[in-house]
Structure 1
Amino acid sequence: MSVLLLLLITGAQAAYHGAVITNYFGDVRPFVLTYHIKESGSSCEEVDIWQCGGNCTTPPFYAIDESRNEWCQKTQILIFTNYGPRTFTFIFGVGSSNWIENRNGIVTPLIRISNDFRNRSDINKPNSTPQTTILPLVRVPSNCQRNINLLVFDPDGDDIRCRYAAGPECNICTPPSVLNVSSSCSLSFRPTNSSNKGPYAVQMMVEDFPRQTITLTDGFTGAQEVKTPSIAIGSIPLQFVFTVDPAAPSCTAGEYLPRFLPPTPQHGAQILTNVNQTLEISVRAEATQADISELLVSGPPGVTKSSSGSGNFTLTWKPIDGDGGLNYALCFVVQANSSGAVYQSDLRCVFVTTGNTTVSRPTTNTTTLTTTTTNQPTATTEPPLSSTPNATPEPGPYHVLALDVMISTTLSMETDSATIMNLIKEELKRQGLPSDITLKLLRSTLLGVTTPAP
């Protein structure tokens, strides 16, 4: 097991608001490991700078969003090279920064990541870790019930479970007394006494569990380890601030607490786009007894936002080459003000998936076709779920962009191409693709003709 220590140093006393760290990897040889580090502080000037030690680069931070000098979230992308398919424990020490003053007594931040990138026997490639994100500060009035469903995704289709950090995963591990977390990554808040008002430090771990027994193989030593569905493969940290505000005059969504309106995408929706193509997501909300002030966002690097009037917002993102074939979680809330009080909408999160990905399914037959479906950059679909309740969505992308298929048929491509294409489309729909897919024939090759016996 390799241990890498990355130190966080700062010249200002910042108020730490948490962090989310996820990663992606490239080819096994050379093995390229990319970490997306999101750290949050009380202002953009006070967010610390991560210094990278080891075989990696240290690029600058890029701001994702900030909330009127209350918090700022930045992201940094660390690229490690020549790290083979093996296990890693990363420990991030957070220099002179302390958590924002909180009710559960958490002072010194600690971020511990247990990653396992050994080759999996079920997919014959290195394991991937869960993907998620969260806003630096989530708030709710003390008298209003609130369920927060975190958006989690695993590229390997593993079962993702959430829990509070414990033991060596934090310096002080006292969880918030007002917030319960379920293994299915749902947070629940119940109305509480006004004496419980204030901020709480939330320190969670997100873990991936295989859905069947698998064997993990170290790419250097060849050593193997068996993982069952009850043994976690790895874990990533999820840290943020949860604030209990004074009681609201009403807990009805759309009055003081902003309510989302169409065409805002539903929670958990998948939004498709292409590399170097600008994606726009419309967000609309109302609060009849409060003034909507801002849209707050946590998402991939490069997301921007704009407003066209009270309660009308647009999120814009243009993925680059390195984003191709990846899924990112993008979360947002709408915030409103009334008589000095601040109110947040529900947390809403979507998947943003970037094409292009090729899928091939050869079968035994006599005619070769290549078909493609159109990929609308603003199309929104619900992600397919497994049959397990509260299970993690199966890995994307969920649209076939190119398909090589061989079929056996007595029909002729010269005279019956429309019929053949319709049959292929109906089969793709039966396999779960949307009913509005469009197929275009790119190439047809006749391999052979078999005449049935009389």
Structure 2
Amino acid sequence: MLQLTLLLLLTRAFTASASHFYGGTMTFTPKGRTPDGSLMVDFRFKHALSVGCTRTNPWSCYSGSCGNITRFIMAPVETYHSSAGDSWCQAEGFVTRRIPSDKPFELRAASSGWVFNIRGGGGWNLLTYVDLGIRSDTNAPNRSPLTTIIPSIRIPQNCPRRISIMAHDPDGDRVRCRYGQIRDVECGDCYQHQNFHLDQDTCTLSYSFSSLGAHVFELVLEDFPTQPVWLQYSDGTMSLRSPQSESSTTPSPPTTASYWLSQQMTSVTAPPPVAPMSRLPLQFALKVDGQVPSCTEGLYLPRFLHPTPHNGEFLNASVDQNLEIRVKAEAIHSQFSEFIISGPLNITKTITLDGRFAELTISWTPVQNDLHDHFPICFIAVSQSGSDVYHSEMRCIIVIVGHITGGDEANVVCTESTMTVEVRKSSIIGLHDNHLRLNDPSCTLISNNTHVVATMSLNSCGTELEEDDDNLIFKNEISTFDELNQVITREHRVEIEFSCVYPKKGTVSLEFRAHRIPYVFTERGFGKFTYRFEFFHTSLFNRMVDPSTYPVEVALKDMIYMEIISSSSLPNTVMFVESCRATPIDDPTYHVFYSIIENGCVVDDTVQVYPGNSSEYRFGMEAFTFIGMHQEVFISCSVILCQAEGISTRCAQGCINASAPSAGHHHHRRSVGVQTSRHYISQGPLRLTRSSTIEGSSMSLNMNLVVCIAALLAAVAMLSGVMVFKTKQSRVKYQVLPGNDF
């Protein structure tokens, strides 16, 4: 009875607000099942009005079983007042519904009163199609796309503009935007503006020229899977959803029910191939103003500057921690007056105006109920010149809510020679298995169902050494990337810094030596693998040079014997040494170098290659020294590990003569699981003996205090691992979402 009374009051209130509607939208997120099998679903909807922001749209059940409301919250998210007469307020409603069935249903809101526009006024209609079936690709209920928008956008008549509509799907579906077509159901007027072009695939609205005044857009967002997906329902039925452009083979229905289901599947139905997973309304007003003296952004029209997030960027937030988003804009010939935002409940803004520049700080604190959800936020900068009002481009971002990793969510293991970091996937939203790397981009990570894992030696994968008065600190970082070999990104989502700390003083005996410990790497498709690079006394390779005797002293023209051995948990792998060079310092990129092997081909006349198995490479060469004041020689090699059966791998290609026409092998995309990235390993130093009478095979002890590490790493009890998670955010305060239950 209470809900019916509330609905009647809201309907009357909304009907009274004629000619005041600026648009609205709705999204939904499943939140799990109750003991009786009902689904709890959160609905978030927005509407904008010129008066009465606290009113709500009278959403009602249009078809199917829509359940009942168990929680309702309504509050403004933005209020805008303009001297040009364009004033409005946007509110968000948060509703939790208990849904008895996971079969599709529809919610609808309708009333009269669109803001006065070039076609008059007229009624408005919002329709949301909800399907909560269990997806065969995620084993979870279907989620809707996410969207929000500034409800009233202004553009100059003489400036072509492109408006990117926020259309993000957390299930990874393809989202398309179209005009509403069913009058008095999906839309009121259903008018398609001729001077605007809507790219349905990219959800981009382009403007060239149109008459002055407000233009109403009544759009519909639909999501389609990228591959055929079965939806399973608790009544035993199944339904197929296909990509909008179907070209792949339809899969068979799943043979086992998802854990969400409690009943056996009994029938299968197949809807039309282009049926969407869900259908959402997105309606707003766009006002074409008079002409501006210049369409160049930054003069009259505001232009965004660093550190403003790029459109479509993903940011991470943590439960109960304030997220701050910094925005900066510039306009030389107009005066800043405002920033307009649209986002979730409890979002706030702080504005600083400073002449030609303006800054905005958006603040929002997620609560526990927001964990693992995605939230869109849009913003626009506003400036004025006299009575003329100018809007910047609209930018929208997605905030993904996780929580700070701690306890058993992540672990750093420090040993005598390696660091291992394990991060639970569920602890940080935004960890994408195939787009994770360490400081060295050639070092990727491996993963299982629950964790991502990286293991590296203390001298590999870009590990950095720092020290203070008491400790040696080895640091590295897991980060996401767009393209593996790029050095910049505009989509940086998460950074996880970790370190191992080793005390300089302790009960262990300290021994510093230059000898390199085995190189340890992890990479998708190969797991954990190692390379060992050693010097030997003879061509029999049966007596390795004692690591404690480094740097190794040799005489000119003495033979130096070297062996590289790979070790992998995968069977049937082969190792390929692509290049080796000598440098006078421990830096393979140093400008002074001498090539020994290039492109898999021996280039030094004294080199002899000795037989070995597929995981070994043995070679020797005459000792030499660099001309000038160089006392030492370091040997560095680039190595690749391949699957033995691969016929197009770099290992299979072997020596490629640099003088021959290029076969383009440097431009081939590496096939994950067929060969690893190129890794660089080194050993040394070699040092020329003081006396030429010393026999070539003799080696002497000479301690080197330049490179450190080794025996002080022996006591695991004295080691500690540290991990720091960064998401490009400022730290903050706590805020709890208010709530009332009916």
TM-score by length of 2: 0.49
Q: Give per-residue Cα distances to partners, 1:286-318, cap 9 Å, x unaligned.
A: 111111100000011111111222312211111
Report the CA distance between 1:341 and its aligned residue.
0.8
Greater C-alpha Rg: 2
C-alpha distance in structure 2 between counterparts of 1:250 and 1:146, whole Å: 13
Q: Which residue of 2 aligns with 1:146?
A: 161
CA shift, 1:172, in A, is 2.2
Q: Which residue of structure 1 lines up, in the alignment, with residue 76 of structure 2? A: 63
State the one-letter code of the partner of 1:159: R
Answer yes or no: is the 8 Å Cα contact 2:114–2:121 preserved in 1. yes
Q: Which moved more, 1:69-78 or 1:169-178?
A: 169-178
Query: What amino acid is the match of 1:325?
Result: H
Partner of 1:249: 293
Superposed displacement of residue 384, structure 1: 11
Aligned mate of 1:73, from 77, 90, 93: 90
Equivalent position of 1:394 in the other structure: none
Q: Structure 1's 373 and 145: CA in aligned 2 closer, same or farther, altered over 3 A?
A: farther
1:302 aligns to what?
Answer: 346
5+ residue gaps, structure 1, are 361-367, 387-399, 442-451
| Count of aligned residue pairs for this structure pair | 402
Q: Distance in 2 between matches of 1:370 and 1:135?
A: 42
1:341 and 2:400 correspond = no
- How many angstroms apart in 1 are the aligned matches of 2:119 and 2:434? 36
Note if contact 1:208-1:233 (Cα within 8 Å) is conserved in structure 2: yes
Aligned to 1:188: 206
Identity of aligned residues (%): 30
Query: In the aligned structure 2, how far is the partner of 1:142 from the partner of 1:99?
Result: 22
Report 1:97-108 matches (<5 A). 97-105=112-120, 107-108=122-123
Quote the Cα distance in structure 1 between the aligned partners of 2:480 and 2:322: 28
Within the candidate set 18, 24, 28, 1:23 is matched to 28
Distance in 1 (alpha carbons) for counterparts of 2:390 and 2:312: 23
Q: Which amino acid aligns with 2:393?
A: D
- Equivalent residue letter for 2:79: E
Q: Work out the CA distance in 1 between the residues paired with 2:68 and 2:242.
A: 32
Q: What are the ranges of 5 or more consecutive residues in structure 2 without an aligned counterpart?
A: 62-66, 245-273, 410-418, 436-446, 464-474, 485-491, 501-568, 570-742
- Name the aligned partner's letter for residue 55 of structure 1: N
Alignment deviations for residues 226-267 of structure 1 (CA, whole Å, 9 cap, x no partner): 111122222100000011111111111111111111111111
- Whether contact under 8 Å (1:106, 1:173) holds in the other structure is no
Aligned with 1:291 (options 332, 335, 348): 335
Q: Structure 1, residues 23-54: CA drift from partner, whole Å, max 9, x if none?
A: 11111344110000111000345744547785
Taking a change above 3 Å as real, the CA distance of residues 429 and 217 of structure 1, as seen in their structure-2 partners, is closer
Aligned 1:149-298 pairs, distance under 5 A: 149-167=164-182, 168-183=185-200, 184-192=202-210, 196-219=211-234, 221-230=235-244, 231=274, 232-298=276-342
Aligned to 2:45: 37
Between the two structures, name the one with larger relative contact order (CA 8 Å, sep ≥ 6). 1
2:59 and 2:108 in contact (8 A); partners too: no
Q: Distance in 1 between matches of 2:461 and 2:335?
A: 56
Is the Cα contact below 8 Å between 2:425 and 2:452 reproduced in 1? no
State the partner residue of 2:583. Answer: none
Instruction: Identify if the C-alpha distance between structure 1 residues 382 and 216 changes in structure 2 by more than 3 Å, giving closer, same or farther.
Output: closer
Q: CA RMSD in A?
A: 3.8
Q: Equivalents in 2 of 1:217, 1:151: separation in Å?
A: 29
The alignment partner of 1:322 has SS state of helix
- Aligned with 2:365 (options 291, 308, 318): 318
**1:329 Cα deviation (Å)?**
0.8
1:109 aligns to 2:124 (yes or no):
yes
Deviations 1:121-154 (A, max 9, x none): 2222211110011011011011010001112211
1:9 Cα shift? Answer: 1.7
Distance of 2:139 and 2:100 partners within structure 1? 18
Residues 316 and 46 (structure 1), Cα distance of their counterparts in 2 relative to 1, 3 Å cut: closer
**Change in CA separation of 1:435 and 1:385 when aligned onto 2, cut-off 3 Å:** closer
Quick one: which of 96, 105, 110 aligns to 1:93?
110
1:296/1:332 contact within 8 Å kept: yes
Per the TM alignment, residue 356 of structure 1 is displaced from its structure 2 partner at its CA by 2.7
Alignment partner of 2:243: what SS?
Answer: coil
